[in-house]
Amino acid sequence: MIKHHPHPDNQLTTRAATPEEARIWLEHQQTENGLKPSVRLVRLPAEAEPGTIAISFVQMGFHTPELTRCYHFDDTGDLLVYSGQATPALQIRWARDTAQSTQIATDLAAESWDLATCGPLRLAVILANDAAHLALIRHPIADDLPDTNSLLQTLAPHTDNQAADITYQNSLPDQTAQIILDEFRLALDAPDMTADCDFFDFGGHSLVATRVIGRLISRHGITLRFNDLFAHTTAASLAPLAEHATPAVDQQANDWAAVAPGPLPTLYETTERVPLSHAQASLWKIYAALGFGPMFNIPFALRFLDPVDETIFASAFRDILERHPALRSRFISQDDTIVQECMPMSEVDQQQWFWHAEGIQSTGPILAAEAGYDFDLARELPIRLRFVRDADGQTLSFLFHHIVLDEWSVNLMMDDLAYAYAARVAGKAPVWEQPIAPFHGFARKQAQAGFDQKALDYWVDALKDASPPKPIRALTARPLTPPTDGHAAEGGWTEIMLDRAISDGLYALSKDCAASLFNTVYAAISCALQRLAGLDDLTIGTSASGRTDPEYFDTVGYFTTVTAHSLRAPGHITPRALIGNVRDMINGSLPHCEIPIDLVEDALLGGKMPFGEHMFEVFIQIHAQNKLNGTLEGAQGPIRFRQIDPEKGDSVLGLQFEVVEDVIEGAKRLRMMMSYRSAHYSAEDVQALISAVENTCAAFASKNAIDRTLVELLP
């Protein structure tokens, strides 16, 4: 067999390695996985011809044999350099976008480097829809060769290397840190973050962490464990913990055109009927069992501190309905089941869903009437927007049916609404950066896949010994009067406002425990309830995002599932230990969170759970970074708005805590909405619950509480 060389024999030369080359070669051999190369990734101008650049690189190696040198020992043990012996290391790859171009360059730099067969330079031409890039990867043994900027200028003369979009000259962990940082910046809308900035200091929380981790694995092949992000909260500290997987696109290097991505998903504008998602089907089961009605209304209300143009607001929200078709779903009975379809915008414009303010009116009665509105989900939109004007200004009744909107979606919707309002103020329609994958596509996909039996088995095993539900009452409480028929869901609510010092203390405790704020508040509430009622353990329901598919992280819809956990808070453990248990318990269950609670209850109890009831009495959830307090950009400046808490007359759950993290003009404040069934709790019970929760939160937030036992903190 004749071995092919890119150079004529008279160009092949052999020389002794310099002392510096020998030192680097030896260090490379003695380093696990070899020395890390430097990488320079530059964006090519639109007029550049990637094919011509690739040919130029091959010709450069032909004319400069040192660029394709390799290293061998001779018979006497001397390290020799064979110039021109290696084949130019050129690869052509395809990427979805600039972010994946970065990952491809990172992965190429991580590949093993055999200096006996590979030259000291590698070039990758990476093609993407938004731009083409060159990645020049340079082994440390190439330090004597022309510098990287000079080589790139020779290959692509019109590329400004100093102004290139991305420059990587560090080790692989540093490149990974940059990718993680880019995802932090995107998820938190924080372009000024650096690799040493704390994720939680910039507004991060568990839902955002889910988004970041999902995008890292789906877009960059980088796997991070959920708990790692809470324990190592900066991009720089996370990078060494990342596990890298080669994206599928990289496995097709010899046929890159075959894996070019398809078009982005288009807006959903069809009347095709699709099944309910798992979460929607679970909610509908309870909705029907309780006789429909307003129990699953979400009656938001916004008080505007500055005048808002109601006509522009209506136009901007119409833009939201067009962008997020789940908000214009209707629900129809078909073949003994419920399906959903998207109402076309032409029909939306014929519906009455927006009302302007009508003179000066009393706000309270109108908000109460709207909150109790009974939607006909088969015929009308699941939303109602009504402005009211009183002597103090404008208030918006912002009513949604829960089956089309969850907490994550609220913040997505409010961000898009602010953008659309600013565009309409300027007399333009909003121009969105990209379409959003439609919720109905998710529901169809989930219905086709069916339920994950392994996930169901996980929950059945985790909850097989869970204690049954019962009212959380003090041991000395007087017996309750049984409820009259037909009034089991009647209830009330109260607000627990935490002092600023307590809020700050709980934030600090969360950081010290490498946990989320939700983990900390969940632990404190659970501890308070167990000690009040003298319980050894407590089964607690909570909500999970249900968003396990990164394609739908920006989709508005109802994904949220209800899950349950069994927690013990014995007196001998500390807040650090209890919060850690909560963190590990909840984070460990996230991969299984798409299983609705009713399926778990049926599997555990053989279908004996009464409709409308759950295996838990207590439910805890958090509304993190609540964006129902914020501003719109008006023609005369910012238009500030604040959320008004609605009156609640019914409670589907026995005892519910909604922890609200308000962010007003950059300042965070915690409060709790506690709602309850009157059949389960007397007025004295409610006061005892409030006192227990307030005292426990204050104790957890106190100085040096983290490692004191619960018995010491709460005697």
The distance of Cα 276 from the centroid of its chain, to the nearest Å, equals 23
Q: Is the pLDDT of residue 229 over 90?
A: no
User: Which residues are CB-contacts of 713 (< 8 A; sequence separation ≥ 6)?
Assistant: 575, 699, 700, 702, 705
Say if 695 falls within a structural domain.
Answer: yes
Q: Is the pLDDT of residue 246 over 80?
A: no
CA distance 145 to 38: 14
Cα-only R_g, the chain: 30
Please report where in the chains the tokens 């209707």 appear, as a residue: 330
CA distance 508 to 697: 13
Return the pLDDT at 159.
66
Say if 165 falls within a structural domain.
Answer: yes
Q: Is the pLDDT of residue 2 over 50?
A: no
Q: Is the pLDDT of residue 301 over 60?
A: yes
For 417, half-sphere exposure in the C-beta direction (CA atoms, 13 angstrom radius) is: 22
Q: Output the DSSP codes for 382-402.
A: SEEEEEEEETTEEEEEEEEEG
Return the pLDDT at 153.
81
Say if 456 falls within a structural domain.
Answer: no
Say if 242 falls within a structural domain.
Answer: yes
In tens, the pLDDT along 562-583 reads 899 999 999 999 999 999 999 9
Return the pLDDT at 624.
75
Q: Is the pLDDT of residue 487 over 70?
A: no
Return the pLDDT at 200.
83
Return the pLDDT at 19.
87
Final residue belonging to a domain, choices 408, 425, 442? 425
Check which CATH number belongs to the domain holding 633 and give it. 3.30.559.30
Q: Is the pLDDT of residue 3 over 70?
A: no
In tens, the pLDDT along 13-66 reads 788 888 888 888 888 888 777 888 888 888 888 777 887 888 888 788 777 888
In tens, the pLDDT along 620-673 reads 998 877 788 899 999 999 999 999 876 655 556 789 999 988 777 667 788 899
Q: What b/e readout covers 593-617, taking b as 16+ CB neighbours within 10 angstroms?
A: bbbbbbbbbebbeeeebeebbbbbb
Closest CA to 71 of 110, 106, 27, 107: 27
CA distance 84 to 64: 8
Same domain, 246 and 287: no
Same domain, 420 and 542: no
Rounded (10°) CA dihedral 228, 34, 183, 162: 150
Check which CATH number belongs to the domain holding 308 and give it. 3.30.559.10
Same domain, 225 and 301: no
Strands (E), 190-237: 222-223
The distance of Cα 593 from the centroid of its chain, to the nearest Å, equals 14
Helix 575-589 to helix 517-533 angle (10° resolution) is 110
Q: Are 406 and 560 a contacting pair, CB within 8 Å?
A: yes
Q: Mean of the pLDDT values across residues 218-246? A: 83
Q: Is the pLDDT of residue 258 over 50?
A: no
User: Which residues are CB-contacts of 594 (< 8 A; sequence separation ≥ 6)?
Assistant: 278, 279, 446, 452, 455, 546, 548, 561
- Which two three-digit tokens encode residue 601? 């209850």
Closest CA to 459 of 630, 325, 586: 586
To the nearest whole percent, how much of the chain has pLDDT over 70?
89
Q: Are 135 and 124 a contacting pair, CB within 8 Å?
A: yes
* Domain around 570: 491-713
Q: Is the pLDDT of residue 152 over 70?
A: yes
Say if 441 falls within a structural domain.
Answer: no
Residue scoring higher pLDDT (686 or 250)? 686
Check which CATH number belongs to the domain holding 231 and give it. 1.10.1200.10
Q: Is the pLDDT of residue 353 over 80?
A: yes
To the nearest whole percent, how much of the chain has pLDDT over 90?
42
Length of the chain: 715
CA distance 413 to 328: 13
- Between 250-259, 312-321, 386-395, the lowest mean confidence (pLDDT) is in 250-259
What is the tally of structural domains in the chain?
A: 4
Region class of 80: left (phi > 0), else alpha (psi between -120 and 50), else beta: beta
Q: Is the pLDDT of residue 88 over 60?
A: yes
Q: Output the DSSP codes for 654-700.
A: SEEEEEEEEEETTEEEEEEEEEEETTT--HHHHHHHHHHHHHHHHHH
Return the pLDDT at 117.
85
- Which two three-digit tokens encode residue 361? 């009116």
Burial (CB < 10 A; 0-12, 13-18, 19+), residue 709, is middle
Same domain, 517 and 401: no
Q: Are 575 and 701 a contacting pair, CB within 8 Å?
A: no
Same domain, 249 and 284: no
The distance of Cα 362 from the centroid of its chain, to the nearest Å, equals 40
Q: Are 621 and 543 a contacting pair, CB within 8 Å?
A: yes
Final residue belonging to a domain, choices 425, 457, 474? 425
Geometric angle at alpha carbon 519, from 500 and 547, rounded to 5°: 115
Same domain, 579 and 679: yes
CA distance 229 to 223: 11
Return the pLDDT at 255.
26
Same domain, 574 and 704: yes
Structural element, H or E, at residue 422 = helix 407-425
Q: Is the pLDDT of residue 170 over 50?
A: no
Burial (CB < 10 A; 0-12, 13-18, 19+), residue 150, is exposed
In tens, the pLDDT along 433-467 reads 778 889 999 999 988 888 889 999 999 999 999 99
Return the pLDDT at 169.
39
Rounded to two decimals, the pTM is 0.68
- Which two three-digit tokens encode residue 95? 């990427």
Q: Are 591 and 438 a contacting pair, CB within 8 Å?
A: no
Strands (E), 85-155: 89-94, 121-127, 132-138
Q: Are 708 and 574 a contacting pair, CB within 8 Å?
A: yes
Burial (CB < 10 A; 0-12, 13-18, 19+), residue 138, is buried
Same domain, 378 and 402: yes
User: Which residues are CB-contacts of 336 (< 8 A; sequence separation ≥ 6)?
Assistant: none
In tens, the pLDDT along 270-294 reads 568 999 999 999 899 888 887 888 8
CA distance 377 to 383: 10
Same domain, 207 and 281: no
Q: Is the pLDDT of residue 506 over 90?
A: yes
Q: Mean of the pLDDT values across residues 81-86? A: 80
Q: What b/e readout covers 556-591, taking b as 16+ CB neighbours within 10 angstroms?
A: bbbbbbbbbbbbebeeebbbbbbbbbbbeebbebbe
Residue scoring higher pLDDT (653 or 195)? 195
CA distance 383 to 398: 8
- Reduce the DSSP state of residue 243 to 3 states and report it: strand
Geometric angle at alpha carbon 560, from 558 and 561, rounded to 5°: 130
Please report where in the chains the tokens 């568990």 appear, as a residue: 206
Say if 455 falls within a structural domain.
Answer: no
Same domain, 681 and 705: yes
Final residue belonging to a domain, choices 139, 169, 199? 169
Residue scoring higher pLDDT (338 or 147)? 338
Q: What b/e readout covers 668-694, taking b as 16+ CB neighbours within 10 angstroms?
A: bbbbbbbbbbbbbbbeebbebbbebbb
CA distance 462 to 540: 13
In tens, the pLDDT along 382-437 reads 999 999 999 999 999 999 999 999 988 998 999 999 999 999 999 999 999 778 88
Q: Report the 10 Å Cβ neighbour count for 359.
A: 7
Same domain, 138 and 228: no
Say if 658 falls within a structural domain.
Answer: yes
Say if 315 falls within a structural domain.
Answer: yes
pLDDT band at 310 (very low <50, low <70, confident <90, very high): very high
Same domain, 141 and 208: no
